[in-house]
Structure 1
Amino acid sequence: MATLNLLEPAAAYAVDDKEVLSLIEAVRQGVKFNAFFNFASKGPFSINEWSTFLHLSERTMQRYKREKKTFDPLQSEKILEIALLYKKGTDVFGNGEKFNNWLTTDNVALGNVKPKDLFDSSFGINLLKDELGRIEYGVLA
């Protein structure tokens, strides 16, 4: 119910972190693989990269796809965190293409790490949110 709406292509960018209760419910219900795949296919990351972000093997991801499984709450939460981050990034950069370029380029402020390499950890995602906030307000030091 709430999960599918959060990850639909048009709605993926409308996810608002002020709707915490609906996010919690979506995590508890789990993200269906089809909704995830619909969202993920619009971005710059391969299934192999997503399997790294979600700490699942690529083979497990293929099984989820084949069996139309629902992700566990831990993976569902990570998917939604990345969706929220993606929304913020596209807002800050003005479009998805510029944000995708930022995600895949070594970043001096992050210790010469590609921002996408931090997606496998909630701490990394929070660091990226903070960095996007600094960019948004022109604090680039």
Structure 2
Amino acid sequence: MRKEKNIVTHAHKIFDPKKSIKRAQTRRSPVWTISVGENKYEEWQSKHDRIAIIRKGLPYSTVEVISRQSNLPIGRVLNFIGVAQTTYNKNKRAKILMSGRNSEAILLMAEVLKYGDLVFNHETKKFNRWLKKTNISIGNVTPESLFDTLSGIQVVRNCLNRLEHGNFA
């Protein structure tokens, strides 16, 4: 192994750190969106983008988006984020934005729902059935029942990750 000008060679392979950094910078993380039809509410690609959206707040109408994507009633999604139906109706009419905590929960749910759709090869009905079935690997509860906490949403995401990689989930 020899080293010259920041290039390391090993067994005929040349490693150039500048190329490696450039390659890493061109790789993109997925672009996440919350949209209804043609209307895009928000779009984010990095954690920094997500934080900016959380701080700004999401409109209450994004609850309907999550409701449609998860095939859950709006009331159930509102229970997950701890908002009363009357508060939701009033704030939606007044176009008030959700709190940071509620916006974060909605964004994370949107990510998990889109990721689940990808893991299940866009077979939405199968994914929605999976959300409603008890799952041994997450403590014999349904994945959707964990949407009421940020940690629970992460547990569902981890479970989907294991499924994607062929592990029992």
Q: Normalising by the residue count of structure 2, what TM-score does the alignment of the two structures yield?
A: 0.70
Task: Name the counterpart of 1:63.
Answer: 90
Q: Which structure shows the higher helix fraction? A: 1
Q: Which runs of 5+ in 1 are unaligned?
A: none
Does residue 44 (structure 1) correspond to residue 71 (structure 2)? The answer is yes
**Relative to structure 2, which stretch is displaced further, 28-37 or 113-122?**
28-37
Secondary structure of the structure 1 residue equivalent to 2:61? helix
Task: Name the counterpart of 1:105.
Answer: 133
Secondary structure of the structure 2 residue equivalent to 1:140? coil
1:3-22 correspondence to structure 2 within 5 Å: 6-9=33-36, 18-22=45-49
Q: Which structure shows the higher strand fraction? A: 2
Higher relative contact order, structure no. (Cα contacts within 8 Å, ≥ 6 residues apart): 1
CA distance in 2, matches of 1:97, 1:67: 34
Following TM superposition, the consecutive aligned residue runs of length 4 or more in structure 1 with deviations greater than 6 angstroms are none
Q: 1:103 to 1:126 in 2, by over 3 A?
A: same
CA distance in 1, matches of 2:68, 2:95: 16
Task: Tell me the number of residue pairs that the alignment of Structure 1 and Structure 2 aligns.
Answer: 134
**Relative to structure 2, which stretch is displaced further, 78-87 or 102-111?**
102-111
Shift of 1:48: 1.1
CA distance in 2, matches of 1:119, 1:39: 11
2:165 to 123, 133, 137: 137
Task: Name the counterpart of 2:6.
Answer: none
Q: Do 1:78 and 1:122's aligned partners in 2 also have CA atoms closer than 8 Å? A: yes
1:82 partner amino acid: M
**Relative to structure 2, which stretch is displaced further, 111-120 or 26-35?**
26-35
CA distance in 1, matches of 2:98, 2:104: 9
C-alpha RMSD over aligned residues: 2.3
Cα deviations across residues 9-34 of structure 1 (Å, max 9, x unaligned)?
4698xx66x51121111111110123
Q: Which runs of 5+ in 2 are unaligned?
A: 1-31
**Relative to structure 2, which stretch is displaced further, 57-66 or 94-103?**
57-66
1:104 partner amino acid: K
2:147 to 105, 114, 119: 119
